[in-house]
Chain A
Amino acid sequence: MLLSFTFTAPELILSVGAMVLLLVAGWRGDAAVRGIGFGALGLFVLAGLSLLGNAGHGGIAFGGLYHADAFASFAKVLIYIAAGVSVVLAHGFFQRSGELRAEYPILILLSAAGMGMMVSAGDLLTLYVGLELQSLSAYVLASFMRRDQRSAEAGLKYFVLGALASGILLYGIALIYGFTGTTQFGGIHSSFVTQMAATGHLPTGLLFGLVFLLAGLAFKISAVPFHMWTPDVYEGAPTPVTAFFASAPKVAAMALLARVTVEALGPATLAWRQIIIFSSLASIVLGAVAAIGQTNIKRLLAYSSINNVGFALIGLAAGTAEGISAVLVYMAVYVVMTLGSFLCVLKMRGNDGRQLEEIAALSGLSRTRPGLAAALAMFMFSLAGIPPLFGFYPKFAVFQAATNAGLFWLAVAGAVGSVVGAYYYLKIIKTMYFDEPAPEFAPSDDKVEGGLIAIAAVIISPLGYLAIPALTAATLAAAKALF
């Protein structure tokens, strides 16, 4: 039992640390917000370091409820980095809007603890608990700017739809439990094997359970047709929160989906593959087509995230270790591109200090702020998957996995879909480079934001290709942990 606790060190560090910081916040009030922010960053670093020990590769803990393997570690590192960046980039934003409060880093910490549980879950119930912990923090974060009507609306919408999705998920869990007699992934796996061997096909009850389970999880990764909440929530939530939603929880939910489909539903690959393929292509097409008419940059990035999830799902549809590794590569690069784009969006401030969200405000940015425009253009080309930017490589990896798994036509369809998607990314570049300048943005001397943008830009520049061998080795080791 004590050994099991060492396996869960990251979650322990994060949740205990969050409680301590909550006490500090209660005691000192919003005056301590800076210290709490640094505290949260320190906790993320500690949690990340703890993965070097038992927590990183220990194996199964608490009798199968929790897995501490390479797969979970890789996802956790990504999650902690994304969450840490979300803490950093929020400081300036909330300071300017006068909503600087100590709860923000603590909610992110709790959410990250939930995400850690999600990616380490070895049982449907751990999965559900982790998911809910993450979601509840997220609902609060979405409506963090209480006085802002859009933020409140976003929080409410997210909560209602999220609760519905959780219900669907629970129903799926119940069905699977009912027909297999267990909630552990390993047990479900063997039950699928025996039942399919006995009847020669997938029993209807299990099929229903599988469909409901996937539907609930598809909501979390905002894959079509469960994506409707995404644009509204992304637009309404404060920008740093949107950046957070688009990065860390996406990684966690995608990793969770990969683990569930492979570890628990592996024998039924042919059944869930059709669902994933449909969802993937629908996400790619809808994410691309619906984004074209958007005038708000945050809404546009919401559709972009739907579009990108579609591509990541192509890797999952392959269902091989190579495919899962491609999904992890995709998420890693996607997180960098997304956070980079949102950091640029945060820089869009009018001279009156108001945050701008209209794409038209970017007009002629290449002449007023050439550095910022170049960075955002890089992120956009990279999201569109145009080489030589690094955003090309994850698309390459998922297409490769799909082709090697025999899903040749899926790769072709995805590739054609990416052309449609390129159009709206180009539209932003066109606005920045070809149009006449709009009023200049307020000067910004935030060294941290600028530095983070520069780091993200360097990672997705062609220099990123040098990281491929290391990235492939890490993701392949992670993916092999599932098989």
Chain B
Amino acid sequence: MNQLGFPILTLLIAVPTFGAIACLFSDAKAARWVALVATLIDFALGLTLWATYQVGGPQWQFQEHLGLFGSFGWSLGIDGIALMLILLSVFLMPICIIASWEAIQKRVPEYMAAFLLMETLMIGVFTAQDLFLFYIFFEAGLIPMYLIIGIWGGADRIYASYKFFLYTLLGSIVMLIAMLWMANYAHSTFIPTLMVTDFPVRAQTLLFLAFFASFAVKMPMWPVHTWLPDAHVQAPTAGSVILAGVLLKMGGYGFIRFSLPMFPEASAQLFWLVAGLSSVAIVYTSLVALVQQDMKKLIAYSSVAHMAFVTFGLFAFNRQGLEGSLLVMLSHGLVSGALFLCVGVVYDRLHTREISRYGGVSTNMPKYALLFMLFTMASVGLPGTSGFVGEFLSMLGIYGASSWAGAIATTGIILGAAYMLFLYRRVAQGPLDKPDVAAMADISPREMLTLVPLALVVLWMGVYPKSFSEPMKKDVGVVLARTDRAWKGGDAKLTKGSAKPVVVAEGEAH
């Protein structure tokens, strides 16, 4: 069955499911503990998965198959890319539960159940090897997220929850029809089989667009990103962390699992579409982020900009671009999650997200200011933090695909630094002249517990990214092997030159 002798992936999915059911039948206090224990068990299982995953071994590992549902089956299995995204999910979940420990006081059992259900579905998406099983997990995430935004959200929660639900539903239902067509054409619903199926080039374009509709909304790409700021602002802190940390990664995962290997010709043909939308997104959403008055909105727009880096890098059709994108996804999951937690810390004290209500918190909250600074720098992409590695690699990849795109993407880095530093200056620095801000206490041990692990991983990924990129290397190669035949190469014509030392004539030296 697999190298462990027991169905670990099913177990990963089952633990939070049963935890969710148990939560529904317990009171608030018990539900918190059940949720924490369930997520920690899942985290331990995730670490086991990482420890036993054979880097450079077979492409698909830990495979399970049960033909339960007639036309499709319970097929699970992971490659390195899925492994990393699963680790990200199981790592963020206990942090989310701890972050909601005191912030959520109403309807706690349902809240915890919804989060555990989310975890089930996220892991399901990354492990599913059957096309329709993937779709079920992918789509089912709508239900808990709708309830999380709608019940525990802020003032405009109902509008935000509708927008989130209907946008994403419209995107993915078109994908379902494309999937049906593919299953009919290839006579298989097994994703590894479909990944090596050559679909007719003319059909590929339509299929690509159908999948694109779904993943672009999930990602989200400009111009279908407008649900994200609304959903973020209204979701509770932990909801935002999961939304930014893992849910947005489903779009990127979809591109690399489906769009690129299954429709390589269409991907290459429609490079202009992805590159165009990503360019607009990088510049436009960065500018929008610059003028936001609301902290969460600002970070939400920065997410859109970062995700544009991901799409750009994915469609660069070279190793740097793909690996860079994957690292940006992981890094963004950690950093934006951490930034939302940082916003949550001050929000819990002052109950406002308006940037101008804060100022000078570095004086009375030094520990908070330090951590906030670290995550700000990681978001900007300072070398030594996780943000640098991914952004640098994907920029390199983008330049390889198109020098114009490379130029536009670079402005995103500069604008990114501008809005993040501007945010940090307005919140943490300046005079501490507001009495209620001055009265805020520094972060509590519980909050430390949520932020410090994130900070450590951010530094780890910045200093030694190989631990994270190594398992994905081979799988990136598999995707490239599919796209190479379709991609004609970019305009940059990167060829290795031979270095010529400048020989300066001795007599002319002064």
**Residues 141-168 of chain B, each 1 if its beta carbon lies under 8 Å from chain A, else 0:** 0110011001100000110011001100
Interface size on A, residues (CB 8 A): 31
User: Are A400 and B140 in contact (CB-based, < 8 A)?
Assistant: no
**Residues 105-116 of chain B, each 1 if its beta carbon lies under 8 Å from chain A, else 0:** 001001000000
User: Are B165 and A422 in contact (CB-based, < 8 A)?
Assistant: yes
User: Are B140 and A466 in contact (CB-based, < 8 A)?
Assistant: no
User: Are A403 and B140 in contact (CB-based, < 8 A)?
Assistant: no
Give A79 to B132 CA distance when docked, in angstroms.
31
The chain A residue with its CB closest to the CB of B68 is A466
Indicate whether A426 sits within 8 Å of B146 (C-beta atoms), given known contacts A387-B136, A388-B136, A388-B140. yes
User: Are A434 and B150 in contact (CB-based, < 8 A)?
Assistant: yes
In the assembled complex, the CB of A461 is this many whole angstroms from the nearest CB of chain B, namely 11
User: Are B170 and A416 in contact (CB-based, < 8 A)?
Assistant: yes
Q: Which residues of B contact A387 (CB under 8 A)?
A: 135-137, 139-140
A112-149: which residues lie under 8 A (CB-CB) from chain B? none
Q: Which residues of B contact A419 (CB under 8 A)?
A: 166, 169-170, 173
Give A426 to B143 CA distance when docked, in angstroms.
10
Q: B57 an interface residue at 8 Å Cβ cutoff?
A: no
User: Are A433 and B162 in contact (CB-based, < 8 A)?
Assistant: no
Q: Which residues of A contact B165 (CB under 8 A)?
A: 422, 426
Q: A418 an interface residue at 8 Å Cβ cutoff?
A: yes
In the assembled complex, the CB of B113 is this many whole angstroms from the nearest CB of chain A, namely 10
User: Are A381 and B143 in contact (CB-based, < 8 A)?
Assistant: yes
Q: A38 an interface residue at 8 Å Cβ cutoff?
A: no
B123-144: which residues lie under 8 A (CB-CB) from chain A? 132, 135-137, 139-140, 142-143
Q: Which residues of B contact A392 (CB under 8 A)?
A: 136, 139
In the assembled complex, the CB of B450 is this many whole angstroms from the nearest CB of chain A, namely 27
Q: A12 an interface residue at 8 Å Cβ cutoff?
A: no
Give A399 to B135 CA distance when docked, in angstroms.
14
In the assembled complex, the CB of B205 is this many whole angstroms from the nearest CB of chain A, namely 14
User: Are B139 and A423 in contact (CB-based, < 8 A)?
Assistant: no
Q: A415 an interface residue at 8 Å Cβ cutoff?
A: yes
Interchain CB contact (< 8 A) of B71 among A403, A416, A429, A472: A472
Interchain CB contact (< 8 A) of A399 among B139, B161, B177: B177
Give A392 to B177 CA distance when docked, in angstroms.
13
Q: Which residues of B contact A43 (CB under 8 A)?
A: none
Give A465 to B133 CA distance when docked, in angstroms.
11
In the assembled complex, the CB of A400 is this many whole angstroms from the nearest CB of chain B, namely 5
Indicate whether A411 sits within 8 Å of B139 (C-beta atoms), given known contacts A434-B157, A465-B68. no
User: Are A465 and B69 in contact (CB-based, < 8 A)?
Assistant: yes
Q: Which residues of B contact A429 (CB under 8 A)?
A: 146
User: Are B170 and A426 in contact (CB-based, < 8 A)?
Assistant: no
Interface of B (DSSP majority class): helix
Q: Which residues of A contact B166 (CB under 8 A)?
A: 419, 422-423, 426
In the assembled complex, the CB of B502 is this many whole angstroms from the nearest CB of chain A, namely 63
Q: Which residues of B contact A422 (CB under 8 A)?
A: 165-166, 169
User: Are B177 and A408 in contact (CB-based, < 8 A)?
Assistant: yes
The chain B residue with its CB closest to the CB of A405 is B184
User: Are A411 and B177 in contact (CB-based, < 8 A)?
Assistant: yes
Q: Which residues of A contact B180 (CB under 8 A)?
A: 396, 399-400, 403-404, 411
Q: Which residues of A contact B150 (CB under 8 A)?
A: 430, 433-434
Interchain CB contact (< 8 A) of A386 among B71, B140, B181: B140
Q: B435 an interface residue at 8 Å Cβ cutoff?
A: no
Interface of A (DSSP majority class): helix
Interface size on B, residues (CB 8 A): 34
Q: Which residues of B contact A404 (CB under 8 A)?
A: 180, 184
User: Are B177 and A426 in contact (CB-based, < 8 A)?
Assistant: no
Q: Which residues of A contact B135 (CB under 8 A)?
A: 387
User: Are B71 and A415 in contact (CB-based, < 8 A)?
Assistant: no
Q: B176 an interface residue at 8 Å Cβ cutoff?
A: yes
Q: Which residues of A contact B147 (CB under 8 A)?
A: 433
User: Are B136 and A412 in contact (CB-based, < 8 A)?
Assistant: no
User: Are A412 and B139 in contact (CB-based, < 8 A)?
Assistant: no
Give A466 to B162 CA distance when docked, in angstroms.
31
In the assembled complex, the CB of A477 is this many whole angstroms from the nearest CB of chain B, namely 14
Q: Which residues of B contact A430 (CB under 8 A)?
A: 150, 158, 161-162
Q: Which residues of B contact A418 (CB under 8 A)?
A: 173
User: Are B176 and A386 in contact (CB-based, < 8 A)?
Assistant: no
Give A465 to B71 CA distance when docked, in angstroms.
11
In the assembled complex, the CB of B170 is this many whole angstroms from the nearest CB of chain A, namely 5
Q: Which residues of B contact A412 (CB under 8 A)?
A: 174, 177
Give A381 to B147 CA distance when docked, in angstroms.
12
Q: A46 an interface residue at 8 Å Cβ cutoff?
A: no
Q: Which residues of A contact B181 (CB under 8 A)?
A: 403, 408
Q: A468 an interface residue at 8 Å Cβ cutoff?
A: yes
Q: Which residues of B contact A451 (CB under 8 A)?
A: none
Interchain CB contact (< 8 A) of B70 among A388, A415, A416, A469: A469
Give A434 to B173 CA distance when docked, in angstroms.
26
Interchain CB contact (< 8 A) of B174 among A386, A388, A415, A465: A415
Give A430 to B184 CA distance when docked, in angstroms.
37
Q: Which residues of A contact B173 (CB under 8 A)?
A: 415-416, 418-419
**Residues 418-459 of chain A, each 1 if its beta carbon lies under 8 Å from chain B, else 0:** 110011001001100110000000000000000000000000
List 5 tightest A-B contacts by C-beta distance, closest first.
Answer: A387-B136, A403-B180, A468-B70, A415-B173, A388-B140
Residues of A participating in the B interface, judged by any CB pair closer than 8 Å: 366-367, 381, 386-388, 392, 396, 399-400, 403-404, 408, 411-412, 415-416, 418-419, 422-423, 426, 429-430, 433-434, 465-466, 468-469, 472
Interchain Cβ contacts under 8 Å between A and B, 20 examples: A399-B176, A399-B177, A399-B180, A400-B184, A403-B181, A404-B180, A408-B181, A411-B177, A411-B180, A415-B174, A416-B173, A426-B165, A426-B166, A430-B161, A434-B157, A434-B161, A468-B68, A468-B69, A469-B68, A472-B70
A387-B135, A392-B136 given. 15 additional CB < 8 A pairs?
A392-B139, A399-B180, A408-B177, A411-B177, A412-B174, A412-B177, A415-B174, A422-B166, A426-B162, A429-B146, A433-B150, A434-B157, A468-B70, A469-B69, A472-B70
Residues of B participating in the A interface, judged by any CB pair closer than 8 Å: 68-71, 107, 110, 132, 135-137, 139-140, 142-143, 146-147, 150-151, 157-158, 161-162, 165-166, 169-170, 173-174, 176-177, 180-181, 183-184
